[in-house]
Amino acid sequence: MAEAPSLALRCTELHRYLGEGDGRVHVLKGVSFEARRGQVYAIVGPSGCGKSTLLYLLGLLDQPDGGSIEINGHTMSNSDDLARTAARGAHIGFVFQFHFLMLEFTALENVMMPMRKLAKLAPADMEARAHQLLESVGLGEKTHRLGTQLSGGEQQRVAVARALANEPSIILADEPTGNLDVKNSGMVFDLLTRLAKDHGQAVILVTHNPEIAQRCDVIRPMRDGLFV
Amino acid sequence: MSPNFHIAYRFLTAKKRAMLMSLSCTVLGVGLFILTQATTSGFEEFFIKTILGTDGAIRIEDKFQDTLRVMSASAGTDFEVSQRDGVKYIEGVEEPKALIKELKNFSNVIAAAPVLRGSVQIRSSFKNETAQIFGIEIDEQLRVSDLGKQVIGGSGALARFRENEAGAIVGRVLADRLQLEVGNSIQVVIGSELTRLRVTTIFETGVQDIDKVRLYVHMSQARSILKKPTGVSFVQVSVFDRDRAPQTAAHIQWVLHHHAVAWQVREKTWLETFYALKLSSAITVSIFTLIAGLAMFNTLAMIVLEKTKDIAILRSMGYERSDITRIFLWQAVIVLLVGAVVGCLVGAGTTYAVSHLPLHLTGIFKTDTFQVYWSPWHYLAAVTTAAIMVMIASLFPARRAARFEPGDIVRGTAQ
């Protein structure tokens, strides 16, 4: 019997409130979730149901008001900012809807950015890996173009390459194809899933696109702050 | 290149106009600071050189009253001078040769010269003027002053004085008032006594108060005119280290029991005026560096606002809050370093240009050009002032950037 892929992420009974005073909203109402390496998860649901809030909590960009988050077996929900920042750099890659490339930098520099912070590789190795990642997303010819000189689809592919730069165990993608046309959506999704599978990474993506969601290994629909 | 510096450099160069604004304010602040300090210090330095070259670094006068001698000294004379602290002095230096011999034992003393001074009336063919006659030993006086440079006509003019026992070196303003030229004769009147002298030389220090009243004569002639066969009014001393003159004067006073005054005490009023001028110009010019700080604050605050998404992505990639602070502080450092280097060059260039500007001044000194003083301390003070202003102004936006929660930025609720 084949061994189950190892657990990359687990959250238990997550609660999150947003806003203050009368406008305070209970966005997540005790969400539990697990993600294993090599699997692609889709979190779907209507706007405002808490998908993105959950994703930011899982990515340690935000802190929960209750519950726990484990990344590769380490409880991170109560850790300080430095530990969460270090965990983000080492274990998590992000792809955002609006790609968030740093436009003053070339594609190559954008991909090298997380590697330079982690500083695990020599500069020449970082550059070689960034070249290899950009090749794998089909941008080998455009490594020295600035973010402003790339199309939306190309920028999102650079963002995918950047998310993979430090070989994280978890890729979190918030509507990664939400801003792209059909052709580019399919290309970016294929890239994400192929590279994640190849490298045994857990991919968790939030999407409104049912076609994209159908192609994932696991679909988790959400409504009113809970998985349904 | 560290990643933080690399990011800072790119952020900054992407905002060229704002960066150039901050940079020009820094350059202007540093450059003007250097220029104003160079000119105010230049005039101060020139004044100090003038007074050192005229009245020397230390003046020794009035012996402390010795209990046993008071009785003999005060028996037939009125030489006693009461001091406000209760100390009494015997006016003048009774034994200048012995005193000058003793002065050679002080390591900071270069030379010493005796001077006999007294008030007289000078009468020319045209009018009378009150004057101060200074009896000097010319060779000794030349070792403690710049009289050799101050005489009009150089060594030839001095030679004429040396050769003529009745010669006089007359201040330029006094000579003009009496309409005197070299070769004219004057009458020195004291009481009913009248002595005829010949103007052999004219000198000019540029110090109006000296040039309008002073005339130098040979010591023997002064003794005859002032009826002082022994002793002198004071001994003028030149020193190796002018800044140590107060300590040397105090040492002399303690060892030789004569009242010794250093130039810093003697010229205190003018020196304090120069200090106040220097301070006030430094404060005024510091406003430019304050503007540089404000411009830097503005630039960084703008970059922080425009780069919130970049801050979020950097934080999501593992960049710490301290990295974000450093990225923004590096931008300030880059502007500061470039601004300081260019500002120093601009300061040096304008100082050089100003030093060649014609400016005719007489009064407390005489000059035909702007006086400047080159000191590395001016550059250090300018850069330090700019650094304090710019770095304090940068700290606020840098810390604000570091406080952003990446989740809030991505969600679009960052404040």
Candidates B312, B317, B411; nearest CB to A117? B317
A184 contacts A8 by C-beta, under 8 angstroms: no
Q: Higher-confidence residue: A147 or B65?
A: A147
Q: Is residue A10 part of a domain?
A: no
Q: How do beta strands A66-71 and B367-369 pair?
A: unpaired
Candidates B318, B323, B406; nearest CB to A114? B318
Q: Is residue A13 part of a domain?
A: no
All structural domains of chain B with their residue ranges? 3-51+270-411, 109-232
pLDDT of B153 reads: 74
Q: How many structural domains comprise chain A?
A: 1
pLDDT of B106 reads: 94
CATH classification of the domain holding A124? 3.40.50.300
**Alpha-carbon distance A114 to A116, whole Å?**
5
B259 contacts B62 by C-beta, under 8 angstroms: yes
Candidates A62, A90, A174; nearest CB to B318? A90
pLDDT in tens, A62-119: 889 999 999 988 998 788 999 999 999 999 999 887 767 888 899 999 999 999 999 8
Helix (H/G/I), strand (E/B), else coil: A165: coil
Query: What φ, ψ does residue B211 adopt, rounded to 5°?
Result: -65, -20
Q: Is residue A149 part of a domain?
A: yes
Q: Is residue A20 part of a domain?
A: no
- CA distance, residue B406 to nearest chain A CA (Å): 6
Cβ-based burial of A52 (10 A; exposed 0-12, middle 13-18, buried ≥19)? buried
Q: Is residue A186 part of a domain?
A: yes
Structure tokens at A110: 């954008």
Chain A residue whose CA is closest to B14: A104
**Alpha-carbon distance A128 to A132, whole Å?**
6
The ipTM value here is: 0.89
**Alpha-carbon distance A158 to A173, whole Å?**
13
- CA distance, residue B328 to nearest chain A CA (Å): 15
Listed by number, the residues of chain A in 82-141 with a beta carbon closer than 8 Å to a beta carbon of chain B are 82, 85-86, 88-90, 92, 94, 96, 98, 100-102, 104-105, 113-114, 116-118
Task: Give, to the nearest 10 degrees, the angle between helix A152-163 and helix A182-199.
Answer: 10
Mean pLDDT per 10-residue interval, chain B, length 415 residues: 90 86 89 91 89 92 65 52 60 90 93 95 87 94 92 82 92 91 90 89 89 94 92 94 95 91 92 89 82 83 85 91 93 92 96 90 78 92 91 89 84 58
Task: Quote the domain boundaries for residue A201.
Answer: 39-60+81-227
